[in-house]
A and B are shown apart, each in its own frame.
Chain A
Amino acid sequence: MGKNLYQKVWDDHVVGQLESGQYQLFIALHLIHEVTSPQAFGMLKDKGLGVAYPQRTFATVDHIIPTTDQSRPLSDDMAEKMIQVLSDATEEAGIEFFAPKSGSQGIVHVVGPELGLTQPGMTICCGDSHTSTHGAFGCIALGIGTSQVRDVLASQTLAIDPLKVRRISVEGKLSAGVTAKDVTLHIIRMLGVNGGVGFAYEYAGSAIESMTMEERMTVCNMSIEGGARCGYINPDQTTFDFLQGKERSPQGAEFDSAVERWKSYASDADASYDDEIVIQAAEIKPTVTWGITPAQSISIEELTPDPEAVEGLDKDLINDALSYMKLAANAPIKGTKIDVAFIGSCTNGRLSDFEAVAKLIEGRHVASNVKAIAVPGSEKVDVAARALGLHEIFEAAGFEWRLPGCSMCLAMNPDKLVGDEICASSSNRNFVGRQGSPTGRTLLMSPMMVAAAAIEGQVADAREVFGLE
């Protein structure tokens, strides 16, 4: 019996078993940022410990960095302090820090892949749940808490239980106007927000295999929203082509031998899985959330659920969600007026996201009732987009083109909803208050669907608005 990728990467990186029954896992790549990591350096200091493998950790700032003016000191004193603590701590430890204006700053899950730091067969950790993004390259990529950031800094290892593996095969061809974001929202809707607890998700099948690396990252990014600690896709030629020539990828002959090693991590044809699911790509439609969890979604053609049609706790959940969202039951989501449109985040803030939208919005304009912002995922994405003139297309269409950061995905910087504003968002979470206002409302969707909503001033079917066939 062969092994799947998870088992191979796990076996390679296990240092030993601990008395509790957990395993000690070596971490190949550790990424840190200003919100969940500065505290870990304080913890190390309290214990009189240093950083064991500083060359295996990389830092950047993304969560609190403003997207309008990033000149230092930042106007928010605590934000400034958090960045300074991270900057000082990384300098002292000898950790490379991709600071603002370095040319490499950005959302941690955009930066790792675009620099070529993220490579197949690695174990990757970061104090952020969307670390699952890096699984797109065939990695075990785990979000961790701050005490675990401390553990990785001090020992380059993690105490952890192994996961089961569920293979989710998406077969066939996606229809026009259906994107990687719709695939992941569809999977979460099917399996639930806690369907993945205890599992790593292996995404497979022809629809996944034909995706670009950026699309694969979108799918793996949201694994955690389905409860899975991580998600991955077997590395293939698409992966290797993406990595070739990247700043931190192996170069020349070393690249060729790396590719041979990377290939060996892919799941064997006769590998076994703890669970397997097959989804037909043709069934997936442009998807929008109507509620307060990423699983509370419907296709653009459907009606919001009817709480009267279900019993017990489900009824309460639907009622609570509709009431928070101020949406009617059993009503179309299409036509819901929006106040804000946000394109960005570690889910959909990469060059291809902006390229796809730019093509559609060129010559059109955002509705007068909508504030629309586009936030590139990194300085490199910003530079590449500007080189293509994308920022001008966005600005001409009425979007603000901002500086890189997490921005309105979690609204720790000044980009926040006000009151009960409703936002068409390409981000990953629609939790209560997620976008910075305790009564703010989020509708998750693909960047294309955000663009359609921005132009129409209301939730719309991108296929109709842009004539996609």
Chain B
Amino acid sequence: MTGMKIEKVSGKGVYVAGNDIDTDRIIPARFLKCVTFDELGPALFYDERFDTQDNSKHHVLDKAEHSGAQVLISDANFGCGSSREHAPQAIQKFGFKAVIAESFAEIFHGNCTTLGIPCVTMVKTDREMIAKIIANDPDTDMIVDIEGLKVICGNHVFNVEMKDSAREAFLAASYDPLDTLLVAKSAVEETAKRLGYA
């Protein structure tokens, strides 16, 4: 299932503000009742977007001008909490291809990487600038450049950082590691034997 190289991601951006946005907020637990991840897109940020009668709360993700956005921008410690892969699955199924934040929670970051969603970190002042640019013109094209570690937004270029191993994996198309892990079958057997696990 190793996918294509991911060197750049481009599209419109949308800013979902807030520190410590946890995976329960990204996808409430009741939507975890499923045996495949296929239908999770509409559940993204559900309780932030809809009230208990399913009426829209006019969340930024539901504003017409942000429809079709592919780059999600947020703040510090994005994706903290549970290990549920349902969270990045919902983000991906909703249409996002990359996430920019101040920082990411670790399990969430790993899940995104495996699914081919680059997570890059950017300082606050730059994110605020991007938020302003998007507010002025929601159609502004953004490019998240994994290779160059830059984000281009309109006429501006911003520096971003990402974990070396994730960057390498996107550029080598090995972000889904399963095939690589299976290659080492005999080394795995030796390890199991050495530790008395086989």
B123 interface residue per 8 A CB criterion: no
B76/A194 in contact, CB under 8 A = yes
B181/A154 in contact, CB under 8 A = yes
Q: Which of B19, B22, B106 contacts A313 (CB 8 A)?
A: B19
Q: List A contacts of B198 (CB < 8 A).
A: 53
Which range contains the number of B residues in contact with the other chain?
A: 35 or more
When C-beta atoms are compared, the residue in chain A nearest to B50 turns out to be: A438
Q: Considering the chains assembled together, what is the distance between the CA atoms of A12 and B180 in angstroms? A: 20
29 A-B residue contacts at CB 8 Å? A18-B177, A20-B166, A20-B172, A22-B169, A24-B180, A26-B188, A26-B191, A26-B197, A36-B84, A46-B1, A49-B182, A82-B34, A128-B83, A144-B83, A144-B107, A151-B178, A157-B181, A159-B180, A194-B76, A194-B80, A197-B106, A198-B106, A224-B107, A313-B75, A411-B30, A431-B22, A431-B25, A432-B25, A436-B30
A438/B84 in contact, CB under 8 A = no
Q: Considering the chains assembled together, what is the distance between the CA atoms of A45 and B81 in angstroms? A: 29
B192/A156 in contact, CB under 8 A = yes
Chain B min CB distance to A412 (Å): 5
When C-beta atoms are compared, the residue in chain A nearest to B30 turns out to be: A412
Chain A min CB distance to B89 (Å): 8
A197/B103 in contact, CB under 8 A = yes
Q: List B contacts of A24 (CB < 8 A).
A: 180-181, 184, 187-188
Q: List A contacts of B35 (CB < 8 A).
A: 38-39, 42, 81-82, 85
Q: Are A78 and B33 CB-contacts (below 8 A) given A18-B180, A21-B164, A429-B24?
A: yes
A147 interface residue per 8 A CB criterion: yes
A to B contact number (C-beta, < 8 Å)? 204
B174/A19 in contact, CB under 8 A = yes
A366 interface residue per 8 A CB criterion: no
Among B4-12, B110-118, B138-146, B148-156, the stretch that binds chain A is B110-118
Q: Which of B36, B37, B163, B181 contacts A155 (CB 8 A)?
A: B181
A26/B195 in contact, CB under 8 A = yes
A173 interface residue per 8 A CB criterion: no
Q: Which of B82, B114, B164, B195 contacts A147 (CB 8 A)?
A: B114
Given contacts A12-B195, A35-B33, 16 further A-B contacts (CB under 8 A): A15-B184, A24-B181, A28-B195, A36-B32, A36-B86, A39-B36, A42-B35, A145-B88, A145-B111, A155-B178, A193-B20, A194-B20, A194-B103, A227-B80, A411-B30, A433-B47
Q: Considering the chains assembled together, what is the distance between the CA atoms of A76 and B33 in angstroms? A: 10
Q: Which of A19, A36, A429 contacts B168 (CB 8 A)?
A: A19
Q: List B contacts of A426 (CB < 8 A).
A: none
Q: Considering the chains assembled together, what is the distance between the CA atoms of A280 and B88 in angstroms? A: 39
A193/B80 in contact, CB under 8 A = yes
Chain A min CB distance to B17 (Å): 9
A362 interface residue per 8 A CB criterion: no
B28 interface residue per 8 A CB criterion: yes
Q: Considering the chains assembled together, what is the distance between the CA atoms of A304 and B151 in angstroms? A: 40
Q: Considering the chains assembled together, what is the distance between the CA atoms of A145 and B84 in angstroms? A: 6
Q: Mark A33-61, 1 if CB is under 8 A from B, else 0.
A: 00110110011001101001100100000
B25/A433 in contact, CB under 8 A = yes
A332 interface residue per 8 A CB criterion: no
Q: Considering the chains assembled together, what is the distance between the CA atoms of A42 and B190 in angstroms? A: 28
B176 interface residue per 8 A CB criterion: yes
Q: List B contacts of A21 (CB < 8 A).
A: 164-165, 168
Q: Across chains A and B, which 10 residue pairs bring their CB atoms closest together, nearest first?
A: A145-B111, A145-B85, A159-B177, A143-B83, A438-B47, A194-B77, A146-B85, A20-B169, A129-B83, A20-B168
Q: Considering the chains assembled together, what is the distance between the CA atoms of A163 and B192 in angstroms? A: 22
Q: Which of B165, B187, B191, B197 contacts A20 (CB 8 A)?
A: B165
Chain A min CB distance to B47 (Å): 4
Q: Considering the chains assembled together, what is the distance between the CA atoms of A47 and B182 in angstroms? A: 12
A277 interface residue per 8 A CB criterion: no
Q: Considering the chains assembled together, what is the distance between the CA atoms of A231 and B142 in angstroms? A: 39
Q: List B contacts of A147 (CB < 8 A).
A: 85, 111, 114-115, 176, 178
Chain A min CB distance to B175 (Å): 8
B16 interface residue per 8 A CB criterion: no
Q: List A contacts of B103 (CB < 8 A).
A: 194, 197
Interface residues of A in 363-383 (CB under 8 A from B): none
Q: List B contacts of A143 (CB < 8 A).
A: 82-83, 107
B157 interface residue per 8 A CB criterion: no
Q: List A contacts of B51 (CB < 8 A).
A: 438
Q: Considering the chains assembled together, what is the distance between the CA atoms of A198 and B104 in angstroms? A: 10
Q: Considering the chains assembled together, what is the distance between the CA atoms of A438 and B83 in angstroms? A: 20
Q: Mark A104-147, 1 if CB is under 8 A from B, else 0.
A: 00000000000000000000000111010000000000011111
Chain A min CB distance to B18 (Å): 8
When C-beta atoms are compared, the residue in chain A nearest to B24 turns out to be: A431
Q: List B contacts of A432 (CB < 8 A).
A: 22, 24-25, 47
